Amino acid sequence: MEFTDEQRSKLDKAQEIIGYRFDDEHLLLAAVTHPSAVEGRAVKYSYERLEFLGDSILGAIVATTAFERFHDLDEGGLTRIKVALVAGSTLADVAGDLGFADIIVFGSSEAGTGKRGLHSALENVYEAVVGALFLDGGVAAAEAFVSRTVIPLMTPELAFEPENPKSALQEKLQEDGITPTYKLVETQGPPHDRTFVAQVFAGSQGLALGTGRTKKEAESQAAKSTLARLGEFFGLGMDSEARAEKAAAAQQAKAEKAEAAAKAKAAKAEEKARRKSEREAAKQRKMG
């Protein structure tokens, strides 16, 4: 099979970015080809099957590295590290930084859509490239690429990040009486390759956005981003005067609420005393 000029150009750039020369360039072509570019053809010509394989290879490399690097972590900590590094948002960011957006072969149905669906495609292509490297050069080739691109993000701190960012955010905000809610604000990409965008809200205040291949993942990423930016959203980023005004307003509201409660309590006690007095007076009249 001869390569088109576009395919040849993208294959050359891809191999330069990956730092590996493929013996079977058709494997690499499949890894960087979006399903929209091969509609009507066998599934092996796009990244879908390689993505499946690459996901498992990537997970094994990350898990093995974490196991060998952090001897004092239990299963839970190692799992949190792995989950953080193989998350769709992490892989999309890594692939984007590498320049993968320039090597993906899109079909006409995706032409002109800009960033629509790109987040999901970047994640999928990264996993597919890992799969292609494994098939072409064995574990060593796949491991060299992952070690250069994802493993540098591995830190012991990841072991202590909450596995469920939504629960962690809810617990944090409820300290101030706030219950976060989530809204799906955008759906990107074609039906076979959806990317969802969700946003966290505190009442009517919109907080961080998150993207994912499922609504649940998008909400989880939005919660994670909000946790990282709580100061920005809830006042830690304000100047001292603004913080003082906000604190004073909160204190005043608290005082007014306490005053209203005290008045209500006094009124209730007064009413109770009045009724008691009336009952005693009525009793005296009856006895007289």
Helix (H) / strand (E) element for 198: namely strand 195-202
Active-site pick, 25, 51, 127, 219: 127
Q: Rounded CA gap, 218 and 226, in Å?
A: 12
Average pLDDT, the chain: 84
Q: Higher-confidence residue: 176 or 255?
A: 176
- As a whole number, mean pLDDT of residues 2-13 equals 91
Q: Rounded CA gap, 79 and 181, in Å?
A: 27
pLDDT at site 198: 92
As a residue count, the chain comes to: 288
Q: Higher-confidence residue: 19 or 245?
A: 19
Q: Higher-confidence residue: 189 or 35?
A: 35
Q: Which tokens go with 220? A: 């989880």
Q: Classify domain 165-233 at the CATH class level.
A: alpha beta
The highest-confidence range among 47-56, 80-89, 173-182, 279-288, by mean pLDDT, is: 47-56
Is there a catalytic annotation at residue 102?
no
pLDDT at site 41: 78
pLDDT at site 1: 65
Is there a catalytic annotation at residue 75?
no
What CATH number is given for 5-160 in this structure? Answer: 1.10.1520.10
pLDDT at site 9: 94
Sequence-separated (6 or more) residues with CB below 8 Å from residue 158: 80, 81, 84, 85
Contact 222, 208 (CB under 8 A): yes
Inform me whether the pLDDT recorded for 285 exceeds 80.
no
Tens of pLDDT, residue by residue over 159-181, are 987 667 888 888 888 878 888 99
β-sheet with 180-188: strand ranges across: 180-188, 195-202, 205-212
Question: Poorest-confidence range of 10-19, 24-33, 103-112?
Answer: 103-112
Q: Rounded CA gap, 199 and 174, in Å?
A: 18
Active-site pick, 25, 51, 55, 217: 55
Share of the chain above pLDDT 70, in %: 86
Inform me whether the pLDDT recorded for 30 exceeds 60.
yes
Q: Where would I find the beta strands (DSSP E) of the chain?
A: 180-188, 195-202, 205-212
Is the entire prediction scored with pTM above 0.85?
Answer: no
